Structure 1
Amino acid sequence: MPNLLIIEDEAAIRRVLSKILKEEDESYQVDEAADGVEGVKKIKANDYDLVLCDIKMPKMDGVEVLQEIQKLKPEIPVIMISGHGDIETAVDTMKKGAFDYIAKPPDLNRLLNTVRIALDRKELITENKRLKRKVSKNYQMIGESEAMTKVKDMIEKVAPTEARVLITGENGTGKELVAHWLHQKSERAKKPIIEVNCAAIPSELIESELFGHVKGAFTSANKDRAGKFEAANGGTIFLDEIGDMSLSAQAKVLRALQENKIQRVGSDKDIKVDVRVLAATNKNLKQEIADKNFREDLYHRLAVILIEVPALNDRREDIPLLITHFAEKIAKEQGTQVCTFTNKAIKLLQNYNWTGNIRELRNVVERLLILGGKEIDDKTVTQFSGK
């Protein structure tokens, strides 16, 4: 439930703003403060998703409040409320970090639209930060085989450029890992990488997920919502399993790549986006093109650089390193002692047919750690690996 704070010294305006916001969306929780000092105290004590702040107030004016918010909780968007004579100051506050300003008396549509956009933006920023933390902890590329060395070398060459990359390979080979490495080693690393699993989203929702929608665009669209392309603005969007994307969505992605513009579902307004596109698939897209399931023009837009991730069966020499990595990682996650694998156990695992690739190997290692003892030998592998 979004938690909003109104800082305004005129009680009548506070009541009007509070009433407007509560009537627009019953999920808004609205708090009030009669001056800047009280407002800052409340911000220190509570978590707010958005602040509406008057500029001219006793004790502490809106500019000072804005500066305090940026010191205390810079992630909170602040909308300034300006009187007729404060417009110049309001514009100046935007240069200092305010999200926007609303003139008195507040225009109903402008107020509600600005609040919705600000809350959407905060949600995206919060999600981006969560994803960045996830990236730093969970994405490592393990392997010293010739096949993996080629992949790493290609990443080093391509990552600093703006080239689009199509990553191919079987399920479970680590295509997502390659995408994250490309992003982390690029000039966009400080901006978000936004992932979209095209196979996991119903075809009727994929366009809304990618490009956003406006209120009323379809039955459940009860408010404006930004899509993944907007969330990735300035950074990278990773379209995983793009071979499963509908032809309709493919056409819109092609336009976004050609013109660097998108349109939210239900709107004809163009929104400029600056996004690097990485895509991945386990399908043969040339065959999909022949079968009329994939656009050839989109393929050529995406496949400026091709990176094929090798199957685990083609890089068996990396299996000992992967076993050690997974054993240590799983033990840390579960708070247990790290188990060791005998040479015979490792040799046996190297000789298995890994149709599920690295994902399957990780699952087997986890099963062996749970069911085996402190030392995993070849007998334990034969008994519990499920191979």
Structure 2
Amino acid sequence: MTSTKVLLIEDDPMVREVNRQFIERVEGFTVIDMSGNGVDGISKIKALKPDLVLMDIFMPEQDGIETLRKIRNENLPVDVIAVTAANDIQTIQKILHLGVYDYIMKPFTFERMQQTLKNFDRFKRMTNSVNDVTQKELDEMIHHFREGEAPLDTSLEDIVDLPKGFNRTTLEKVLNYIKQTKNGASADDVASNIGVARVTARRYLDFLEKQKLIKVDVHYGGIGRPINHYYI
């Protein structure tokens, strides 16, 4: 499989190196060069023709916003992910209006970078494999879902460290059961179907919810306490 060529545009040498190491830990991505400002970055985009640019916003000589404008005005065929400490909504809106694939705020974890790159890889593979698409196929490309199925990123592969006392096999059983339910399931439903105690099911469900792999909704019935229902 062809590796995705990445150009890093970041003025801080230490951050640049951390970003490079993060990117190259993700299978299928290679950093082909690095730049310390937007002026040099534009030149390298034209010369090296990367598939993807990871770019800071606050940089000397030419900041990320102006660099993005030039990339778009000159119709340079490259995708851009903003990696920046900028967290004010005006700056965020400007960057999003200029068509970045994603926006990662500093400081960030390897897992956050990894998820973005995996999503980008999935998106490019899907768009490169077709000429025309249906609405359903376009939804899958943009929003990562298929009708009646779980989102494509609801997997445990990125969860390395589990809480003390947790078992990965049990966690997989809980997640797979929730994936199969159309209207959600309670902790009692999960417990009876996979053969664990209710309190155990609730611990695993709460963990999955904190990992943003499932969602929780409170159902109010008749007499008695409300019941949490978990779903994809």
Q: 1:230 maps to what in 2?
A: 140
Given the superposition, is the C-alpha separation of residues 33 and 265 from structure 1 closer, same or farther in structure 2, using an over 3 Å criterion?
A: closer
Q: Deviations over 1:40-87 (max 9, x none)?
A: 111111222211111111111111111222234465321112215556
Q: 2:68 maps to what in 1?
A: 66
Q: 1:14 maps to what in 2?
A: 16
Q: 1:29 maps to what in 2?
A: 30
State the Cα distance separating 1:10 from its structure 2 match: 0.6
Q: Is the 8 A contact 2:7 2:53 kept in 1?
A: yes
Please give the residue correspondences for 1:38-187 in structure 2 after superposition, counting only pairs within 5 Å: 38-73=40-75, 75-84=77-86, 88-128=90-130, 131-132=131-132
Q: 2:150 maps to what in 1?
A: 263
State the Cα distance separating 1:23 from its structure 2 match: 2.2
Q: For 1:11 and 1:86, how far apart are their aligned partners in 2?
A: 24
Q: Is the 8 A contact 1:91 1:101 kept in 2?
A: no
Q: 1:2 maps to what in 2?
A: 4
Q: Is the 8 A contact 2:84 2:105 kept in 1?
A: yes
How many residue pairs get matched? 152
Q: For 2:68 and 2:24, how far apart are their aligned partners in 1?
A: 24
Q: For 1:100 and 1:232, how far apart are their aligned partners in 2?
A: 12
Q: Which amino acid in structure 2 is aligned with residue 32 of structure 1?
A: M
Q: For 1:8 and 1:269, how far apart are their aligned partners in 2?
A: 40
Which structure has the bigger radius of gyration? 1
RMSD (Å) for aligned C-alpha atoms: 3.2
- Structure 1-normalised TM-score? 0.35
Q: Which runs of 5+ in 1 are unaligned?
A: 133-191, 195-210, 212-226, 234-255, 271-387
- Structure 2-normalised TM-score? 0.55
Q: For 2:88 and 2:98, how far apart are their aligned partners in 1?
A: 15
What is the percent sequence identity of the aligned residues? 29
Q: For 2:108 and 2:179, how far apart are their aligned partners in 1?
A: 25
Q: 2:228 maps to what in 1?
A: none
Structure with more of its chain in helix, by fraction: 1
What SS does the corresponding residue of 2:129 show, helix, strand or coil?
Answer: helix
Q: Which amino acid in structure 2 is aligned with residue 29 of structure 1?
A: T
State the Cα distance separating 1:229 from its structure 2 match: 6.7
Q: For 2:105 and 2:142, how far apart are their aligned partners in 1?
A: 31
Q: Which amino acid in structure 2 is aligned with residue 83 of structure 1?
A: A
Q: Which runs of 5+ in 2 are unaligned?
A: 155-177, 181-232
Q: For 2:22 and 2:97, how far apart are their aligned partners in 1?
A: 27
Q: For 2:77 and 2:149, how far apart are their aligned partners in 1?
A: 26
Query: Which runs of structure 1 show a deviation greater than 6 angstroms over 4 or more consecutive aligned residues?
Result: none
What SS does the corresponding residue of 2:53 show, helix, strand or coil?
Answer: strand
Q: Is the 8 A contact 2:86 2:92 kept in 1?
A: no
Given the superposition, is the C-alpha separation of residues 269 and 44 from structure 1 closer, same or farther in structure 2, using an over 3 Å criterion?
A: farther
Q: Deviations over 1:305-340 (max 9, x none)?
A: xxxxxxxxxxxxxxxxxxxxxxxxxxxxxxxxxxxx
